[in-house]
Amino acid sequence: MPKDTKFNKAWLQRTDDEGNQVCQWLKQGTTDTTFQCVLCKTGDRECANQGWSAIYQHMKTKNHVEKIKALKNNLKFVTQSPKSQPLSTNDILETSSLRLDDVRKSPMLNFDQQITKAETLWALNVARRGFSYNSCDSIGDIFRSMFPDSKIAEQFNMQSKKISYVISHGIGPYFHRDLIKQLKRCEKFVLCIDEQTNVQNKKQLDLLVKFWTYAEGLVVTRYYKSILLGHAQANVLQDAIINCFKTDGIDLKRLLMLGRDNPSVNISLENLIDQEMKKMGGGLLLLDSCNLHLVHNGFKTGDCTCLLVTTSLFITISFALGISSANWHVENICTEIYSWFNQSPARKEDLIDIIDEFDNLVEKTLLYFTITRWILLGKVIERVLFLWEPLNEYFLNFLSIAQKAQIYKNDKYEKIKSNLTSNVAKIQLQFVLFLCENIFDRFLTWFQQEGPLIHLLHHELSELFHLVLLQFLKSDYVAGKSGDDLLDLDFKLNEKQLNNKQIRIGERARKQLNLLTQQEREAFFNDVRKIYHGIAQYFKLNLPLKHQFLRDIQILHHSLKDVQNADQIIRVARAVPHLLTDREIAHLHDEWLTYSIETIDEKWIIKSAGKDSNGNDDITYQRIDFYWNNVLSITTTDGRPKYPTLSKLVKNILIISHGNADVERGFSINENIIVPNRSLLSEVSINGLRTTYDAVKCAGGMSFSTK
């Protein structure tokens, strides 16, 4: 019966149309009604509804046919990956266990090939670990000393010049070419950009691409290229990007949108590229700045100079807008304490000795605060408060006795001493920590993920604004409001404000109130209201809660599979430039209606379900692209895709960037690769290293199988 067909082990005895035994690649999945193709690394595929026909349809796919040919004819890079890990690379680099071998494991590598395998693995490791090229000059001698009985070690030869050439002109370009092949299969892709000044004192523009990989049925973000520049004006960046596309044969019209941060130069760049595409009959989906980058800009500036983008599509949070309006400088308290111990081993040792006297304290290190990442201030404040008593002991008692000369007329010491003895300073730190932990951290952490989250952005922004308003307004005034209704609230009405006993400041701060004078207490609550009003005002001006596109794409969530949402999917299709034809949009309406009554397997939605230690439900959901990949893989009775138009639209909506965190994570990789003693690396070398690093990362990392 439909939906009840189990995997039949007798199928393993069958052959395909070419006479090949299917047992070479077919096996039962993790349930009785699923199968897996070990050759394509598919994971579980359903056969409950179609039985053998589902397997037959898979083995007729282009990807499977190509791999069968490779199985019969080719010796190549293959891999062996953990069963549960979805991969996002090409047919060649597919695994976390990189090795040279034949898929069938029948041909043995000859001696020269084994040497090549060893040298290739070492090159991959160098790129992944950030080893310098010069460190490889004697590595062959070390291996020969370590393994004197190894013939491979005897012939191993990877000097600095050779490994530089292999990575820059061999492995790196190989992976880059394969990435280009994947991009050319996609209708659209998103280009994410950001730049920084590297240790070479050059502007390094990093380009990443986000696209739907058909091999794995997932949205992936891959490193594309780095460009070194002196000047970084918008027209220079435009020429550099377009020239890269021309060199790689990528049609500019495939570009869906530009994921960027907030600086105005990138707004100009977006406009220039959009104008160039319009000359070719294309155009960008214009969704403005990175939602997370503006968090830091707003947190940092917080006054009239704050970058306001009134048409911004993404979250534009201004934490510091409120804090600055209250004239608080809690960041200075943290940086002054940190800088006192920075670059001074003697001071650090004295502090650790004092901390050791407090038996219940494990953490002994002050955290570094950088002004470009203000939202991390919460963790820095948490550590300062955690070490508050040892810091008081060190600065107020130890230094005054043991280091009198050091602190005599020392302005920095006097500032630190003043803050540590101030109850006002401590309660300010506690309140800012409350804001971070209870309002901002969850949202920002969630949207740092690589997976597609654009469909959740509108709802999460609404919830965030709602949460802020509940901190200082009466609940009956805010209750039942969501989305753009929140923008219509007058949050400054006196009769709607919570009183000093009700306004949310956090339990730690409220306990500290008893140590304040009446005047200090009144000033504190006035400042708290200014902070909340400042944040709310910035939200009201900038949050895109009235943006139709963001509202509409919420229907991609599995819980909004409803006939009534057919109009929204049509509006989404019309908003994406040059993706669907008029005829396809007409078909889209009918496909959505069919989808809305489709029976969905719960495994496509829920990854795991159980109970936590308190007996509450603990549910982990699948990524949204996993859900849609399964839905869009449903076929009709004659084997045709059931949702061809919906597939084309959804796959190119889910690639829309919800922030620029992916590119900024790459800055940490750059710091590992381009360290001060490698400041002479060429642009070709940087690209080779980053491309190789990215390919290995997407394969799940590196392990060294002996199989």
Q: Does residue 226 form part of some domain? A: yes
pLDDT at residue 70 in the model: 66
Q: What is the mean pLDDT of residues 148-175?
A: 94
Q: Does residue 19 form part of some domain? A: no
Per-residue model confidence as pLDDT tens digits over 385-405: 999 999 999 999 999 888 888
Q: How confident is the model at residue 326 (pLDDT cuts 50, 70, 90)?
A: low
Q: How confident is the model at residue 306 (pLDDT cuts 50, 70, 90)?
A: very low
pLDDT at residue 288 in the model: 56
Is the pLDDT assigned to residue 351 strictly greater than 70?
A: yes
Q: How confident is the model at residue 676 (pLDDT cuts 50, 70, 90)?
A: confident
Q: What is the mean pLDDT of residues 245-257?
A: 95
Q: What is the mean pLDDT of residues 151-173?
A: 93
Boundary-marking domain end, from 542, 560, 590: 542
Q: Which of 102, 134, 17 is nearest to 65 (CA)?
A: 17
Residue 697 and residue 673 in contact, taking contact as beta carbons nearer than 8 Å: no
Boundary-marking domain end, from 503, 520, 542: 542
Are 254 and 362 contained in the same domain? no
Q: Does residue 264 form part of some domain? A: yes
pLDDT at residue 294 in the model: 46
CATH number at residue 255: 3.30.420.10
Per-residue model confidence as pLDDT tens digits over 2-45: 567 888 888 888 888 777 788 888 989 888 888 899 888 888 88
Q: How confident is the model at residue 373 (pLDDT cuts 50, 70, 90)?
A: low
Q: Does residue 194 form part of some domain? A: yes
Per-residue model confidence as pLDDT tens digits over 559-592: 999 999 999 999 999 999 999 999 999 999 999 9
Q: How many helices (H) and strands (E) does the chain have?
A: 31, 11
Per-residue model confidence as pLDDT tens digits over 79-122: 333 443 443 333 333 333 343 344 344 456 788 989 999 999 99
Are 188 and 268 contained in the same domain? yes
Q: Does residue 467 form part of some domain? A: yes
- Between CA 126 and CA 529 the distance in angstroms is 54
Cα of first residue to Cα of last residue in the chain, in angstroms, is: 42
Are 538 and 633 contained in the same domain? no
Are 355 and 334 contained in the same domain? yes
Are 400 and 265 contained in the same domain? no
Residue range of the domain that includes 593: 549-653
pLDDT at residue 403 in the model: 83
Are 427 and 560 contained in the same domain? no
**Number of domains making up the chain:** 3
Is the pLDDT assigned to residue 313 strictly greater than 70?
A: no
Are 342 and 382 contained in the same domain? yes
Higher pLDDT, 434 or 406: 434
Which residues pair with residue 641 across a beta bridge?
Answer: 635
Residue 361 to residues 338, 352, 419, 628, Cα–Cα distance (Å): 18, 10, 22, 48
Q: How confident is the model at residue 646 (pLDDT cuts 50, 70, 90)?
A: very high
Are 647 and 663 contained in the same domain? no
Per DSSP, helices labelled H in 25-110 are: 52-59, 62-73
Are 621 and 677 contained in the same domain? no
pLDDT at residue 312 in the model: 32
Q: Give the contacts of 63 (CB within 8 A, at least 6 positions apart).
A: 40, 91, 214, 215
Higher pLDDT, 79 or 286: 286
Q: What is the mean pLDDT of residues 362-391?
A: 81
Q: Which range, of 276-290, 368-382, 413-427, 478-492, averages the lowest pLDDT?
A: 368-382
* Whole-prediction pTM: 0.77
Higher pLDDT, 240 or 376: 240
Question: What's the token pair of residue 214?
Answer: 């058909």
pLDDT at residue 22 in the model: 86
- Between CA 45 and CA 35 the distance in angstroms is 5
Q: Does residue 361 form part of some domain? A: yes
Q: What is the mean pLDDT of the chain?
A: 84
Q: How confident is the model at residue 498 (pLDDT cuts 50, 70, 90)?
A: very high
Is the pLDDT assigned to residue 310 strictly greater than 50?
A: no
Q: Which of 200, 220, 216, 199 is nearest to 208 (CA)?
A: 220
Q: Does residue 397 form part of some domain? A: yes
Per-residue model confidence as pLDDT tens digits over 429-452: 999 999 988 988 888 788 888 889
Per-residue model confidence as pLDDT tens digits over 507-561: 999 999 999 999 999 999 999 999 999 889 888 888 888 989 999 999 999 999 9
Are 389 and 481 contained in the same domain? yes
Is the pLDDT assigned to residue 125 strictly greater than 90?
A: yes
Higher pLDDT, 182 or 48: 182
pLDDT at residue 706 in the model: 46
Q: Which of 682, 679, 706, 661 is nearest to 290 (CA)?
A: 661
DSSP state of 259: E
- Between CA 123 and CA 173 the distance in angstroms is 14
Which residues pair with residue 608 across a beta bridge?
Answer: 620
pLDDT at residue 90 in the model: 38
Q: Does residue 48 form part of some domain? A: no
Are 474 and 605 contained in the same domain? no
Residue 479 to residues 186, 466, 474, Cα–Cα distance (Å): 44, 9, 9
Percent of the chain with pLDDT over 70: 85
Are 440 and 394 contained in the same domain? yes
Exposure string for 154-164, b = 16+ CB within 10 A, e = fewer: eebebeeeebb
- Map tokens 């034809």 to a residue: 581
